[in-house]
Amino acid sequence: MQPGIFNRMLGLFLGGEHRSLHLKAAGTATLSLLVTVFVSSWAVVAAEEGASGANITDYPKALWWAVETATTVGYGDLYPVTLWGRIVALVVMGVGITTFGMVTAALATWFVGHEQRRARLLHKAEHEARRLAQDAAGDAEDTVRSLHRRFDRLEEALAGGQGGGGPQDG
């Protein structure tokens, strides 16, 4: 059952063919951050074990430390005192900062893309409206010309009927 859940979670983060590259990158970074938090929690406990002045002594404290380090909050309540603990901290900081940067960039890209799609649709609608207006203007001009021709024929017919010996001729 767990492989199915893992596959679904992986699919949720990484997405399928329909997901854009920036969303896949943000999903991959987030998944990497989660793995880093859990693995680094274990690693920092192992690195700090038995060290003088160590305050990260169990997994729950280490998990809290990893989350606050990855999010760059850093309350200062927990901190590594050994060289290997500090190296783990550098990795957690790097992955955390990178992940939040990628997620922020993905959100910005989504907003910009949404605005570009809206602008493209607006431009397309304006173009179609201009085309329809030009077609309507062309139709109106054709109608006016047709009416002018009809009036000209009516005038010619009336003028021809009057010039043929009517009461004005005599």
Other Cβ atoms less than 10 A from the Cβ of 96: the count is 23
For residue range 18-47, what is the model confidence (pLDDT) as tens digits?
677 777 888 888 888 999 999 999 999 999
CATH architecture of 2-119: Orthogonal Bundle (1.10)
The residues, ordered by sequence, that sit 6+ positions from 45 with a Cβ below 8 Å of its Cβ are: 56, 57, 58, 59, 62
Asked if 41 and 68 touch (Cβ cutoff 8 Å), the reply is: no
Please give the pLDDT value at position 14.
61
Q: Where are the domains of the chain?
A: 2-119
Q: What is the pLDDT of residues 91-107, one digit of tens each?
A: 999 999 998 888 888 88
What's the token pair of residue 74?
């850093």
**CA distance linking residue 62 with residue 50, whole number of Å:** 15
Q: How many residues does the chain have?
A: 170
| DSSP assignment letter at 19 | S
